[in-house]
Amino acid sequence: MTASIFNAAPGDFAETALMPGDPLRAQYIAENYLTEARQVTDVRNMLGFTGFYKGMRISVVAHGVGIPSACMYCTELINDYGVQRIIRVGSCGTISASVQVRDIVIAMGASTDSNVNRTRFNGFDFAALADYDLLQSVVSAATAQEAPFRVANVFSSDLFFPPPGQEMWDVMERLNVPVVEMEVAGIYGVAAEYGAKAVALCTVTDDARTLTGLSVEERQTSLDQMISVALEAALLANAG
């Protein structure tokens, strides 16, 4: 065991892990959706928990903000703790009228301004894609719950301040990339490199063009539907 960013013991993590960026969201999921949940890691306050959802053992672990942080946590979960399926549950901003605030975007693929996947792929472009079976499970769960969702290519940006901006928003919209977030391309690259499965769901919490979005209270309510979809998708994937 060479892990340095978790203080969990071998076997503490389940084979499936939900991964929000925010450690407090990880705690919220554990406390409100899991039974017999116990905290298994807290290094740098990046909280992780393992418990049960409808009888299925599952973990929820924060991955922090940005591709470097997400890659680091996902790599160790896969390589050192045997996690096989990663489901990101995050937030994103829309740049397109075709996607509204509160919608769930399921990331089929991820474009990016980051160089991590070019580095991983010997300088060439790498198609950062979701695992098809996990993607199908998420779509099935969202459909069953009648959640407002869109399957799309997302843009994983290295920058939050300043954002890529109006010119880039126009390019994205022309190429049918309706939302921006900060981690998916890195997570998909790590999963591909180390033989795990990954998919990402992001609730639209902001309009990047108008700089408007949900309040803190509204974010909490809106994210619950995404969390429920992700957990039901994990059940479907586990059964398959």
**Which residues does the annotation mark as catalytic?**
206
3-state secondary structure of 58: strand
Q: Is 133 exposed, middle or buried (0-12, 13-18, 19+ CB in 10 A)?
A: middle
- Residue 235, amino acid: L
Task: Please count the CA atoms within 13 angstroms of the CA of 207 that sit on its side-chain side.
Answer: 11
Q: Encoding tokens for residue 181?
A: 């977030």
Which residues, including other chains, have CB under 8 Å from residue 58's CB and lie 6 or more apart? Answer: 14, 16, 17, 18, 34, 50, 51, 52, 231, 234
Alpha helices in 34-145 (DSSP H): 67-81, 116-120, 132-144
